[in-house]
Amino acid sequence: MNTQQHTVSRRDFIRISAFAGGGLVLGFNLFSSCSPQQGEGVIYDLNAFVKIDTNGAITLMNPNPEIGQGVKTALPMLVAEELDVDWKAVKVEQAGLDTEKYRRQIAGGSGSIRDSWESFRKAGATARQMLINAAAATWGVAPESCTTEKGQVVHADSGKKLGYGKLVEQAATMEVPADAAVKSITSFAIIGQWIPNVDNRAIVTGQYKYGIDTKREGMKYAALVRPPAFGQTLKSYDDTEAMQQQGVEKVLRIDNKIAVLGRSTWEVMQGAKKIKAEWEDGPTMESTADYLRNFRETVAKRPAGNPQRKDGDVQRAYQSGGTKVFEAVYEAPFLAHNTMEPMNFFADVRADGVELYGPIQTPERTRTTVAKLVDMPEEKVTVMMTRMGGGFGRRLMSDFVEEATLVSKAAGVPVNLIWSREDDMGGGYYRPMCTYRYKAAVDADGRLTAWQHQSVGTTGSPARAGSFPAGAVPNLQVDAQEYKTPVTTAPWRGPIHNFIAFSEQSFFDEVAHAVGKDPVAFRLEVLDQAKQQPTGELEYDPDRFAGVIKKAAEMAGWGASKGPNIFQGIAAQYSFNSYVAQVAEVEKRDDGKLKIKKIYCAVDCGIVVNKSGAENVVEGGIIDGIGHAMYPELTLTRGKPDQVNFNTYRMIRMAEVPEIDIQFIENDIAPTGLGEPGLPPAGPAVANAAFAATGVRLRTQPFIKSGLFA
Amino acid sequence: MKLHINGHVYDIDVPETTSLLDTLRIYLKLTGSKYGCGEGVCGACRVLVDGHATPSCITPVASVQHKEVVTIEGLAKDGRLHPIQQAFLDEDAFQCAYCTSGMVISAVALKNRNPRPSRQEIIDAMQVNICRCCAYPRIMKAISNAQS
């Protein structure tokens, strides 16, 4: 392999810096940045996203962190579409944190495509227009008479053609057009195709470097000993044995933790196990049973007042003549994120600045946090994001980056801090634990007249005030309260939605069955009510919501018998501006146990950018949703996690994966979120199918504890 | 001690109890095999030892001295990918892809001993490998469709 020098020679006379499309830098003229390559051409940056080599090679920059959601492929696809290049000839590079160039650099909230749809295409179109203008000037023709064709500008009248590489030097001197037009949806050639992830070949040959693979000259590996239970503080420690561990070089106290530094991961982890530490309990050292009891008592009481949403009067509706009232309590446990790549980060704190390198979903916020931590201005802190071995919300937090920073600072060396699996599973930032009480009323005509949600959980608010059926019910009240605990929690794939969909969609199913209505028909009826006569604010579009429910029902052959042992359940959720409905099919075996056979899933996320990526994340979301509804829970005994590795925390594996059929609703609506929306309906669809099969209502996760499943 | 890895012989001086995984990752700079659990229960660190898929995180390096070790980096021959690697590419069977190395190794070991595995045989061979992103259907498809 030969290494190429890539010297960036930024010229001094930047003439124009055009900002458009929400602050994206659409041009850097003049000769804003060009990079000579040994024995090759010169690379010009036409804007923050597009680099073209005079030899014709095209490099597109991906600004957002890649966590497996596919943005490193999908975002450059948006640019490539409008630039009009052959996707197969494009190279994609990960950009480091540079918020002056790239407005938004975060992986979270299923937002990358939603937020980039207009601006990234505009960036591609602008670069294309600059190339056209350069060609037109060269040929002495009007730019309007030129067009492009996969990396070339073409003048049809004269038959002249010039490749982008031949034009880029001149294009970089052209004025940056503010009004470059984007393509019409019908002429897309790249968007909507099935395109594999750009890193695949490096991954499948073991060449791709994740954060955990980072190794630098003079770098030490570091492990941390942290409090075994939430709420504990470090009293004292003895490192005699740890220092005798081969490969361990240094032990340091870092606030409430102890850092062990040395030459290899395994050796520092062994050293960490040999630290003898004494910990002091805090004032609240609660166990799972304490939370459960406390939460049940809380939701049994009248809400404290100050509802998040109040439409009409639920109490009056309950008392109305001929009305049936239903009530149920649902519970969801703590869950670990369990990214396969445990938390890790490289930090090099020097007198003149800090270099951070590793897997982080929130590089910008992390830079701010670290700059404060070391008391340096933000521009002294550089952040480069590696492809992540999973995120699921865990890497929105930057606790492990802060730890790496403090260890590097204290030890005076660059470090790669690596959490063991036990650190990772036992170290917190869990999906919050919550309890919900629902109450609903159906009047004598079978109309849903009241809906009440009352919840408590270890998060700011366990409720979503606008969630279905809000807006469709004349009387609705949502009350939620936070329970303070030393147990750290964080967004977890499909935050709030992941457990609210379970409780809400299951309770809705309960009500439907209780009044003898078909769960699909009842949902459509309520959505029609939202459309015809909405109450209060309506977050979702009832037609699109109904559309996915109808589609999933049609795909599943809802209502038609599929044999005496096959049962179905439906659930649907609107999240991150997308609509997803799923029908779960379970089989009742001869021994009476259930097996999840198939999931039919309909998705309306607007335009699908990458068919492969879209299907992949939805499929993964469904299985993730089933897996976490079915198998694991993170329990605590006096603040100490009972499960710290995969031998006691059950993850879904290949044998438990059902058949999955996914269809996307085709429309020309701008794309909406997709990394998360596939997950929330899966659990309740299974719970509702289980009820259809057994008459037993699953109100507590994980479902495996019910004994219903094989 | 002498190690046979990916067709090369390495003479390496590390403590005998060092895990094979650390030896590969830290000293030989073969970082394709990943740390996932340290207990041999997630599959991310699997390598071939005399053709068997083996968790390198709980394998002391001294125990493989006279054996053939093949890691993800050693599967391609003369730039030609192993059929399992090619099948993963064809199906785009990746999400975060941190588990991929171990998945590919498990699948290669299976195909070596059973060129035409049934669906159930694939499940049995892959059951130790966790894919946290749950790209399981595509991984299954890749292994089923891979040429023998």
Question: In the structure encoding, which two tokens stand for residue A207, read together?
Answer: 């060449």
**Rounded Cα–Cα distance for residues A587 and A590 (Å):** 10
Query: Per-residue pLDDT averaged across A416-433, rounded?
Result: 97
pLDDT at A103: 83
Question: In the structure encoding, which two tokens stand for residue A658, read together?
Answer: 């059902």
Domain regions of chain B by residue span:
2-73, 83-145
- A15 pLDDT above the threshold of 50: no
Read off the pLDDT of residues A89-101 as tens digits, 9 standing for 90 and up. 999 999 999 998 9
**Rounded Cα–Cα distance for residues B1 and A453 (Å):** 66
Give the A:B interface size as CB pairs under 8 Å.
Answer: 182
- A22 pLDDT above the threshold of 70: no
**Among B22, B32, B92, whose Cβ lies nearest the Cβ of A197?**
B92
Taking only residues 119 to 138 of chain A, the set having a beta carbon closer than 8 angstroms to any beta carbon of chain B reads: none
Q: Does A654 touch chain B (CB under 8 A)?
A: yes
Residue A186, amino acid: T
Q: For chain A, give the mean pLDDT.
A: 93
Cβ separation B81–A204 shorter than 8 A: yes
Do B55 and B33 touch, CB atoms closer than 8 A?
no
CATH architecture under which domain B83-145 falls: Orthogonal Bundle (1.10)
- A18 pLDDT above the threshold of 60: no
pLDDT at A38: 53
> What is the end-to-end Cα distance of chain B in Å, rounded?
35
- A85 pLDDT above the threshold of 90: yes
pLDDT at A6: 31
Residue B57, amino acid: C
DSSP lists the bridge partners of residue A641 as A636
pLDDT at A305: 84
Taking only residues 372 to 391 of chain A, the set having a beta carbon closer than 8 angstroms to any beta carbon of chain B reads: 387-391
Q: Please state, as a whole number, how many other Cβ atoms lie within 10 Å of the Cβ of residue A500.
A: 27
Substitution target in B21, B98, B122 with the highest count of A β-carbons within 10 Å is B98
pLDDT at A696: 98
pLDDT at A17: 29
Q: Does A660 touch chain B (CB under 8 A)?
A: yes
Query: Per-residue pLDDT averaged across B45-53, rounded?
Result: 98
pLDDT-above-90 percentage for chain B: 94
Cβ separation A264–B18 shorter than 8 A: yes
Which residues in chain A have their CB less than 8 angstroms from residue B44's CB? 340
DSSP A431: B
Classify strands A448-457 and A248-254 as parallel, antiparallel or unpaired. Answer: unpaired
- To the nearest whole angstrom, how far is the Cα of B67 from the nearest Cα of chain A? 21
A28 pLDDT band, cuts 50/70/90, is low
Q: What chain B residue is nearest to A625 in terms of C-alpha separation?
A: B134
pLDDT at A461: 86
Which residues in chain A have their CB less than 8 angstroms from residue B26's CB? 215, 221, 263-265
Question: In the structure encoding, which two tokens stand for residue A662, read together?
Answer: 């996914």
pLDDT at A304: 82
Q: Does A197 touch chain B (CB under 8 A)?
A: yes
Cβ separation B38–A269 shorter than 8 A: yes
- A21 pLDDT above the threshold of 80: no
Cβ separation B26–A264 shorter than 8 A: yes
Q: Does A193 touch chain B (CB under 8 A)?
A: no
Q: Identify the H or E element spanning A254.
A: strand A248-254
Q: Which of these ranges, A27-41, A485-499, A559-573, B18-32, has the smallest mean pLDDT?
A: A27-41
A237 pLDDT band, cuts 50/70/90, is very high
Taking only residues 258 to 297 of chain A, the set having a beta carbon closer than 8 angstroms to any beta carbon of chain B reads: 263-267, 269
Is the Cα torsion angle A207, A211, A216, A219 positive or negative in sign? negative
Which residues in chain B have their CB less than 8 angstroms from residue A616's CB? 92, 95, 135, 138
Which residues in chain A have their CB less than 8 angstroms from residue B94's CB? 68, 197, 199-200, 203-204
Query: Per-residue pLDDT averaged across A509-533, rounded?
Result: 98
List, edge to edge, every strand of the sheet that includes A566-575: A566-575, A578-588, A594-604, A659-664
**Among B37, B130, B133, whose Cβ lies nearest the Cβ of A653?**
B130
**Among B22, B34, B92, whose Cβ lies nearest the Cβ of A196?**
B92
Cβ separation B98–A338 shorter than 8 A: no
- A7 pLDDT above the threshold of 60: no
- A4 pLDDT above the threshold of 80: no
- To the nearest whole angstrom, how far is the Cα of B112 from the nearest Cα of chain A? 18
Q: What chain A residue is nearest to B19 in terms of C-alpha separation?
A: A266
Q: What chain A residue is nearest to B87 in terms of C-alpha separation?
A: A204
Which residues in chain B have their CB less than 8 angstroms from residue A617's CB? 95
Query: Per-residue pLDDT averaged across A393-401, rounded?
Result: 98
Cβ separation A205–B76 shorter than 8 A: yes
Q: What chain B residue is nearest to A652 in terms of C-alpha separation?
A: B130
- A3 pLDDT above the threshold of 70: no
**Among B85, B131, B132, whose Cβ lies nearest the Cβ of A205?**
B85
Supply angle C-alpha A668, A671, A673, rounded to 5: 150
Question: In the structure encoding, which two tokens stand for residue A472, read together?
Answer: 């469709």
A159 Cβ neighbours under 8 A, 6+ residues apart: none
Read off the pLDDT of residues A403-424 as tens digits, 9 standing for 90 and up. 999 999 999 999 999 999 999 9
Query: Per-residue pLDDT averaged across A176-186, rounded?
Result: 93
Classify strands A344-350 and A578-588 as parallel, antiparallel or unpaired. Answer: unpaired
For domain B2-73, give the CATH number: 3.10.20.30
Query: Which has more pLDDT, A609 or B147?
Result: A609
Query: Per-residue pLDDT averaged across A100-122, rounded?
Result: 92
**Rounded Cα–Cα distance for residues A24 and A74 (Å):** 18
Query: Per-residue pLDDT averaged across A318-333, rounded?
Result: 97
Q: Identify the H or E element spanning A694.
A: helix A682-694
* Size of chain B in residues: 148
φ, ψ (nearest 5 deg) of residue A357: -150, 120
- A186 pLDDT above the threshold of 50: yes
**Rounded Cα–Cα distance for residues A257 and A245 (Å):** 19
Cβ separation A213–B25 shorter than 8 A: yes
Q: Does A655 touch chain B (CB under 8 A)?
A: yes
Substitution target in B34, B122, B132, B143 with the highest count of A β-carbons within 10 Å is B132
Q: What chain B residue is nearest to A264 in terms of C-alpha separation?
A: B26
SS (H, E, C) chain B: CEEEECCEEEECCCCCCCEHHHHHHHHCCCCCCCCCCCCCCCCCCEEEECCEEEEHHHCEHHHHCCCEEECHHHCCECCECCHHHHHHHHHCCCCCCCCHHHHHHHHHHHHHHCCCCCHHHHHHHHCCCCCCCCCHHHHHHHHHHCCC
Q: Identify the H or E element spanning A659.
A: strand A659-664
Cβ separation B135–A207 shorter than 8 A: no
Do A408 and A349 touch, CB atoms closer than 8 A?
yes
pTM of the full structure: 0.95
pLDDT at A35: 62
- To the nearest whole angstrom, how far is the Cα of A708 from the nearest Cα of chain B? 22
pLDDT at A16: 28
pLDDT at A10: 32
pLDDT-above-70 percentage for chain A: 94
- A1 pLDDT above the threshold of 80: no
Is the Cα torsion angle A279, A284, A289, A295 positive or negative in sign? negative
Which residues in chain A have their CB less than 8 angstroms from residue B89's CB? 196, 200-201, 204
pLDDT at A342: 98
A432 Cβ neighbours under 8 A, 6+ residues apart: A334, A457, A458, A459, A462, A489, A492, A499
- To the nearest whole angstrom, how far is the Cα of B11 from the nearest Cα of chain A? 18
Which residues in chain A have their CB less than 8 angstroms from residue B92's CB? 194, 196-197, 200, 612, 616
Question: In the structure encoding, which two tokens stand for residue B116, read together?
Answer: 């035409």
Query: Per-residue pLDDT averaged across A385-395, rounded?
Result: 97
Cβ separation B22–A206 shorter than 8 A: no
- A157 pLDDT above the threshold of 50: yes
Query: Per-residue pLDDT averaged across B101-120, rounded?
Result: 97
Taking only residues 103 to 122 of chain A, the set having a beta carbon closer than 8 angstroms to any beta carbon of chain B reads: none
- A167 pLDDT above the threshold of 70: yes
Substitution target in B95, B108, B140, B144 with the highest count of A β-carbons within 10 Å is B95
Cβ separation B18–A421 shorter than 8 A: no
Q: What chain B residue is nearest to A423 in terms of C-alpha separation?
A: B37
Q: Is B147 exposed, middle or buried (0-12, 13-18, 19+ CB in 10 A)?
A: exposed
Question: In the structure encoding, which two tokens stand for residue B29, read together?
Answer: 């700079």
Read off the pLDDT of residues A435-493 as tens digits, 9 standing for 90 and up. 999 999 999 999 999 999 999 999 988 999 999 999 999 999 999 999 999 999 999 99
Read off the pLDDT of residues A653-704 as tens digits, 9 standing for 90 and up. 999 999 999 999 999 999 999 999 999 999 999 999 999 999 999 999 999 9
Cβ separation A654–B136 shorter than 8 A: yes
Q: Does A207 touch chain B (CB under 8 A)?
A: yes
Which residues in chain A have their CB less than 8 angstroms from residue B32's CB? 205-207
Q: Does A610 touch chain B (CB under 8 A)?
A: no
**Among A210, A263, A657, whose Cβ lies nearest the Cβ of B137?**
A657
Q: Which domains does chain A have, with CATH numbers?
A: 19-204 (3.30.365.10), 213-282+343-418 (3.30.365.10), 289-334+430-706 (3.30.365.10)
